[in-house]
Structure 1
Amino acid sequence: MTAFILVSGTFTGGYVWEETAARLRAAGAEVYAPTLTGLGEHREAAGPGTDLETHIADVLAVIDRVAGDRDLVLVGHAYGIHPVLGAADRRAGRVSRIVYVDAGMPMDGLPALASVPDQALREELAKLAEQGGGAATGTLPAPADAVAWQRWGSTAGVSGRALERLTRLAAPQPLGTLLQPLRLTGAVAAVPTSAVLCSGNGGGIELLQSMVNMGHSALQALVDPQVSFFELPTGHWPMLSCPGELADALLAAAAGEGHRLTPADELPSYLRPFPLAVPEVPRERKGHVDLYVPETTGAGPLPAVLFVHGGPVPADARPTPRDWPVFAGYARLAAGRGVVGAVLDHRLHAVSDYPLAEADVAAAVEVVRADPRVDADRVALWFFSGGGPLAAPWLGARPAWLRCLAATYPVLAPLPNWGLGEGRFRPVEALPDAGDLPIVLTRVGLEMAEIAATVEEFLAAAEDCGADVEVVDVPHGHHGFETRLPDDEARAAVDRAMGSVLAHLRA
């Protein structure tokens, strides 16, 4: 017999699991969906001392009541994974598996606050914690309508009726539950885990694998054979949007099934050779910017292209992106065709770092334009992958010297679980202000679904506002196609995109 303990996230109670629980029981499992202290029907039980330890005790009480010779599977949705991990750490010998449902990766010593998706809200709560000496009493008001729920995750797939019920039954979240650090002894590390990723709220399995390949140290534990993954094409509340599919995933997880991630290759794809032959133009290093200048500059100042890498890239990644063959290759290719190529390193190490990266790009632009060999009135910016949101400020306030903007397999709207809110890093929203700025967009046919959706949204917006967008399609290309599968299609796409950008610079 398998017994599931289902723990819900902020503002909600056991009622959100009703349909999923019914499917699990129909499959022969026992199901327990406790409502944590201060939430749901227990909202009146909240007091000044209600914190994460209170919720861990709630889960421990269920474990102690139902554990026996059953296979006990603990499931935590979003915030719910924090009390689940705290309880499992103290009853590791009784727990068969832990399942994360669209949840972060809590760590010992960090509060649930660190996993709150909305960055502005996280900063507000952090100030409350500082004022209270690391703790806080009181409650965080529950979302008042469907729009407010978006601060906590995508509501894609949830019906209007279900959202109305979610809002009606929501209870204020005791602040102590979000601000008290999680304390783990390490015993929970021995418990097998699974995760249900909701691609409509951000990353799916392919995106997670790409981050592992990038060398993010915190993710390397995910390649353990005891860790498995499932993906659902829905938003942050799969128990409301696709309860049957979620139940199937939980049953498969309990049986030890699921996708396994693979360790990063010794030579990651981004360190493989550039697909086109390029001249050995020497690199000139100026701070965090590398310049590749054509040998012959007698014709006067030359146009320039600044290549902006994506991310997030781990802060300790070596070599850094400006030394990756793909970006050095693009810059040398530009130099070989008579313009100055430039590459920078910027500080996009986490999704919260876009403001830092924005400042780095602006500083790099000034370095490039100040070089006497560069025509400061003819510059193009070329963004890649997760660097796409950095294009928004330039689209929204186009300077006269910006003659072309290019984007290759870009993210063109922040993913929902990035928590960037309505800030300045939304190219889709900035596009109507770009005027007649030429845009060259390289689109790969085998793009990750969550990223492809942002590209299609951008192209729809371009059609609506009449933006000048040229699409270079790579039908069989993956994200990072240049070095991942450098075939004739890839080479032709790079050649065409470069030709278009340079034509706009020389017009």
Structure 2
Amino acid sequence: MLVHGSWGGGWIWSRLAPLLVAAGHQVYAPTLPGLAERANDPRDASIGLSEHIDDLAGLLERADLTGVTLVGHSYGGMVTTGVAARLPERVAALVHLDAFTPLPGQSCFDLVPWLTDVFAELSEGGGTARPLDPAALGVDDPDDVDWLRAHSTAMPVRTHQEPLPGPALPDTLPVTFIRCLRFDAFAATADDFRARGLPVAELDCHHFAQVSRPAELASLLLTAAPPATEVSASAGASPETKAKAGIRAEAEVRADTGAGAPPGARVEAGAGVETGAGVETGIGAPPSNAKPENGTVARSGAVDCSEGSARSEGLAGIGGTA
């Protein structure tokens, strides 16, 4: 389950998702309320962290998902932490991708105080903040900058003001932190993980590893996740159950590397990628003729993630590779 950060949407995972699909994993990349194709909701200005946690938790419950690896990028770490604490019986592992790692009672603004001023400068009035320019987050490829600018949408400010509700995460849940070395906001978080003996991995990239280093990131995620056979919807989930969850089972939508990908996407999926894979979108399902920007499902194939310079520390004990 891939959960985007501020100003994002399920679209931001379009380089990474095919690699995980090719490795045999069922992949969901939902868009949170008030953003991307779910923007212009009458509730936009009042949407907070609690609404995002409720929304994602509802997806797991309606689809009857178990054995889930939750991956939260940036602000998405606030949401995945809340969901994992609420539904620990459904979550196998938690991965923070250059993300917030809050305790109950902490907000984004508490953890990174300078964000308060940033959001004030970006305020559109009415409780939303326009997107922060991706160049300010270290993105230096002009095509990537243009693509991120074109897709990003305003963020409800309350999502960053509202503290994480309880309960706390269970101590037994495997948790990994992946730090993007060319963005310093979460350097102290990575150091804290190391000090507590928790696994940390590093990627030599800016804040959006899923855009600039999809193959290397896929390799790290496949190490952090349990085997693909354990990460799936319940085998007995009926079409009716999936329909209630908002999932279009086996919709024939192309899942090739061009689906929703920015110009020059470097998706190295190797042999076995199914171009007619079923798409299960969960939240914010697009029309049946849309490209799969909100989640792709397949159960075969292989992925070559041997390139790149990803470094990991202590990941081997978290779970088998797919």
Q: Pick the TM interval, shorter chain.
A: 0.5 to 0.7
Q: 1:48 to 1:200 in 2, by over 3 A?
A: closer
Quote the Cα distance in structure 1 between the aligned partners of 2:9 and 2:199: 26
Quote the Cα distance in structure 1 between the aligned partners of 2:126 and 2:165: 20
- Equivalent position to 2:61, from 58, 61, 64: 64
Quote the Cα distance in structure 2 between the aligned partners of 1:250 and 1:140: 31
Q: 1:250 to 1:55 in 2, by over 3 A?
A: same
* Counterpart for residue 199 of structure 1: 181
Q: 1:203 to 1:127 in 2, by over 3 A?
A: closer
* Counterpart for residue 170 of structure 1: 152
- In terms of fraction of residues, the more helix-rich structure is 1
Name the TM-score, length of structure 2 as normaliser. Answer: 0.63
Q: Which amino acid aligns with 2:166?
A: L
1:411-450 matches, cutoff 5 A: none
Quote the Cα distance in structure 2 between the aligned partners of 1:11 and 1:124: 13
Q: Which amino acid aligns with 1:77?
A: H
Q: Which amino acid aligns with 2:85?
A: D
Q: CA deviation at 1:150?
A: 4.1
1:344-493 matches, cutoff 5 A: none
Matched, 1:155 2:151: no
1:107-186 matches, cutoff 5 A: 107-116=103-112, 119=114, 121-123=115-117, 125=119, 138-143=127-132, 148-151=133-136, 153-156=137-140, 159-186=141-168
* Counterpart for residue 190 of structure 1: 172
Query: Residue 85 of structure 1 contacts residue 188 of structure 1 at CA under 8 Å; is this kept in 2?
Result: no
Quote the Cα distance in structure 1 between the aligned partners of 2:138 and 2:172: 32
Matched, 1:247 2:221: no
Query: Residue 45 of structure 2 contacts residue 128 of structure 2 at CA under 8 Å; is this kept in 1?
Result: no
Question: 3-state DSSP class of the match of 1:93?
Answer: helix
- Equivalent position to 1:229, from 200, 206, 224: 200
Unaligned runs of 5+ in 2: 228-322
Query: Residue 78 of structure 2 contacts residue 101 of structure 2 at CA under 8 Å; is this kept in 1?
Result: no
* Counterpart for residue 363 of structure 1: none
Query: Residue 72 of structure 2 contacts residue 97 of structure 2 at CA under 8 Å; is this kept in 1?
Result: yes
Q: Which amino acid aligns with 1:254?
A: A
**Superposition RMSD on alpha carbons, in Å?**
3.0
Quote the Cα distance in structure 2 between the aligned partners of 1:114 and 1:123: 12
Matched, 1:42 2:24: no
Query: Residue 98 of structure 2 contacts residue 180 of structure 2 at CA under 8 Å; is this kept in 1?
Result: yes
Unaligned runs of 5+ in 1: 129-135, 213-218, 257-507
Quote the Cα distance in structure 2 between the aligned partners of 1:11 and 1:108: 23
Quote the Cα distance in structure 2 between the aligned partners of 1:27 and 1:242: 17
* Counterpart for residue 352 of structure 1: none
Quote the Cα distance in structure 2 between the aligned partners of 1:126 and 1:204: 21
Query: Residue 9 of structure 1 contacts residue 76 of structure 1 at CA under 8 Å; is this kept in 2?
Result: yes
Spell out, residue by residue over 1:30-74, the C-alpha distance to the aligned partner (whole angstroms, 9 max, x if none): 000000001011111243421111111121122113444x52100
Quote the Cα distance in structure 2 between the aligned partners of 1:47 and 1:126: 17
Quote the Cα distance in structure 1 between the aligned partners of 2:121 and 2:31: 28
Quote the Cα distance in structure 2 between the aligned partners of 1:98 and 1:20: 17
Number of residue equivalences? 226
* Counterpart for residue 459 of structure 1: none
Q: 1:176 to 1:161 in 2, by over 3 A?
A: same
Q: CA deviation at 1:244?
A: 1.2
Q: 1:229 to 1:236 in 2, by over 3 A?
A: same
Quote the Cα distance in structure 1 between the aligned partners of 2:81 and 2:102: 8
Spell out, residue by residue over 1:106-145, the C-alpha distance to the aligned partner (whole angstroms, 9 max, x if none): 121111223447x2x42465899xxxxxxx95101113xx
Greater relative contact order (Cα 8 A, min sep 6): structure 1 or 2?
Answer: 2
Percent identity, aligned pairs only, is 30
Matched, 1:238 2:209: yes
**Is the radius of gyration larger for structure 1 or structure 2?**
1
Quote the Cα distance in structure 2 between the aligned partners of 1:74 and 1:177: 19
Spell out, residue by residue over 1:369-424, the C-alpha distance to the aligned partner (whole angstroms, 9 max, x if none): xxxxxxxxxxxxxxxxxxxxxxxxxxxxxxxxxxxxxxxxxxxxxxxxxxxxxxxx
Quote the Cα distance in structure 1 between the aligned partners of 2:205 and 2:194: 26
Q: Which amino acid aligns with 2:54?
A: A
Query: Residue 46 of structure 2 contacts residue 127 of structure 2 at CA under 8 Å; is this kept in 1?
Result: no
- Equivalent position to 1:101, from 97, 101, 105: 97
